[in-house]
A = this chain, B = another copy of it.
Amino acid sequence: MSGLGVTWIDGVLEKSLPLPDRGLDFGDGLFETVLIVHGQAVYFDLHLQRLERGLRTLGFPNCVSLVKTHISSILSSRGFNRLVAMRVTITRGEGPRGYAPPDTCTPRVIITCTNLPDDLYKKIALPARISMAKIRWGSQPDLAGLKHLNRLEQVMAAAEKTKAGVDEVVMLGQHGSIISVSAGNIFLYADGSLVTPDLCECGVRGTRRQLVLESLAPELGLSTRVARVSSEQLIEADEVFYCNALVGVRPVAQYAGRTWKRHGVSEALHELYWERAQ
């Protein structure tokens, strides 16, 4: 499997995408990045739930069971014994010229599996250094939370991350409050409680964010709150971490002149995250 991955389209190994495709033309589609460990999809149900919400919002037919079938078939035939990132993209498929979706659409299921470095978790064991991106999230309440294919803002933020030589960048919303990092959600721990930004106007409702809020934090007896978060609150927090499907929970060591040396709560969440993932 090359560094660019192996792709199946509608269950068939392919090196290219039939054209036209509305995913390419307009970003008319959704995706999930699923972590595969020992040949198993980790926290799979959370991905499927979000995907189903997205399909409904965009007016796609519900093809979740088809997606599950394709994924199961790949996992059982390949029997991955390495860490794999499985990107599952659903586009609205083919259509005539123009923005309007066709009356009936046949979604395309594009699955790309890419080997992750075996030492991924050794590499990211060190707490992250993060800075702030200039590009902000756009405000779009009707699509906020979904993991659709319109991701230019994060692309531009990630370019800033590369340029700054940091592990992640914080992205603000249009009103200046903190929303997320470029590829994950952010939490702060202060006054004995976890807080994560409200995503009503923008951002992606991450599967690991949901997991922390609904399961991991309560299990550790931590109260949680979804609220507007300012950069000052982040700097003054006792701990900060971000989370996504590949890194799990990663503590933050540096941001805007502030350094954190203790990460007890983040580490406890990270441990529980892996225990529950098995």
Interface residues of A (CB under 8 A from B): 3-5, 7, 14-28, 31, 58-59, 85, 87, 89, 91, 94, 96-101, 103, 110, 112, 114, 135-136, 138-143, 148-159, 161-162, 174, 182-183, 202
Contact = CB atoms under 8 A, between A and B. Distances in A.
Nearest to A95: B4
A99 B18 contact: no
A99 B24 contact: no
B27 A149 contact: yes
A114 B100 contact: no
A151 B24 contact: no
Contact of A100 (B25, B58, B136, B162): B162
Given A5-B97, A99-B183, A143-B153, A19 B16 contact: yes
A183 B138 contact: no
A139 B142 CA distance: 12
Contacts of A99: 151, 154-155, 157-158, 182-183
Contacts of A20: 4-5, 7, 112
A64 to B, nearest CB: 20
Nearest to A162: B100
Given A25-B89, A159-B100, A162-B100, A142 B151 contact: no
A87 B15 CA distance: 23
A18 B15 contact: yes
Interface centre among A4, A21, A139 (most CB of B within 10 A): A139
A103 B7 CA distance: 23
A219 to B, nearest CB: 30
A28 B152 CA distance: 6
A155 B112 contact: no
A172 B15 CA distance: 40
Contacts of A159: 59, 100-101
The 9 A-B pairs at the shortest CB distance, nearest first, are namely: A138-B140, A150-B150, A27-B27, A99-B158, A16-B16, A100-B158, A26-B151, A138-B138, A139-B139
Contact of A17 (B24, B154, B156, B182): B24
A138 B143 contact: yes
A3 B21 CA distance: 14
A157 to B, nearest CB: 7
A194 B230 CA distance: 42
A28 B139 contact: no
A100 B103 CA distance: 35
A149 B139 CA distance: 17
Contacts of A148: 152
A26 B154 CA distance: 9
Contacts of A98: 158, 183
A179 to B, nearest CB: 13
